[in-house]
Structure 1
Amino acid sequence: MEIYYNEYLISDDKERLDLDKVKGYLARSYWANQRSEEKIEKSIEESVCFGIYKDKKQVGFARVVTDDATMYWLCDVFIDENYRGLGLGKYLVETITESERFRKLTGLLGTRDAHELYEQFHFVRDRDRLMRRAPR
């Protein structure tokens, strides 16, 4: 899948991913800073991954783990600090949750601080961090 949002490209082509950028961001994140580079690489290999690009430079990322039948887990979502406030995170989440592949599946995710973002896309809180989205 490749779609444009203004001058930004969203793609699920793993060949486009800047693995150093993804590993660097996840190493600084609160949720993945204990993962080894090898685990991050393996998680990318075994998942559906989305990148956001401006002029071939990666500025965002999201990873989806799924059985393609009943559910998916949305994780490792980030937007480069220099590109926040432009609606890229919202568009990335919307692109994934409303895609033909995922919109009919139950969506799950965990977050400590972005509940309001995900609630815009029909995720509801289920405990402190877990959020769930019913199939549409």
Structure 2
Amino acid sequence: MQYRIIDGAENLKINDVVRLLKMTYWAENRPLENIEKSMRNSACYGIYLDVEEKLVGFARVISDYATTYYLCDVIVDTAYQHMGLGTALVSHIEALPEYKGLRGVLITRDAHGLYDKFGYKVLNNRAMVKESKY
């Protein structure tokens, strides 16, 4: 499967990103305005299948580029999951020099196996989350 990883929100079509985020439990009801604003204020990455010219994966990173980055909105189209695309996307992000040596943070309820490969560990009794209300 031939794919390419694209860096930058300006290189991603908002409708493609919205389609992917609507597949998730965490962003299925996120308003378009919030998606657009989140993309403007984050480093965005996407996976396009070359043959179909279709966005099949997306992720965002929020960082101070000095101590910590937050990896979020990682999604692979359900029709293309379990093909290594999520691993490829996270691997690409993890290899970028701007995140080297920084603490990586993420929140997931069901993708621990993916992130274990990159050294992420579950923190018991320490991580706290305040849910959004949109």
Residue deviations 1:4-36 (CA, integer Å, cap 9, x gap): xx6211111323212112112223311122321
User: 2 CA distance for matches of 1:53 and 1:28?
Assistant: 17
Q: What RMSD, in angstroms, separates the aligned Cα atoms of the two structures?
A: 1.6
Partner-residue secondary structure (3-state), 1:64: strand
Q: Which runs of structure 1 show a deviation greater than 6 angstroms over 4 or more consecutive aligned residues?
A: none
1:35-88 deviation line (CA, Å, top 9, x unaligned): 211011000000000010112321110000011111100000011122222101
Q: Does 1:32 align with 2:27?
A: yes
Question: What is the CA-CA distance between 1:117 and the residue it aligns to?
Answer: 0.9
1:116 paired to 2:113: yes
Residue 78 in structure 1 maps to residue 53 in structure 2 = no
Q: Paired residues, what number? A: 124
2:36 aligned residue (36, 41, 44): 41
Normalised TM-score (structure 2): 0.85
Partners of 2:93 and 2:33 lie apart in 1 by: 25
Aligned to 2:84: 87
Larger relative contact order, structure 1 or 2 (CA cutoff 8 Å, min sep 6): 2
**Can you give the 5+ residue segments of structure 2 that lack an aligned partner in the other structure?**
128-134
Q: Which has the higher strand share?
A: 1
For normalisation by structure 1, the TM-score amounts to: 0.83
Residue of structure 2 equivalent to 1:11: 6
* Structure 1 unmatched runs, 5+: 1-5, 131-136
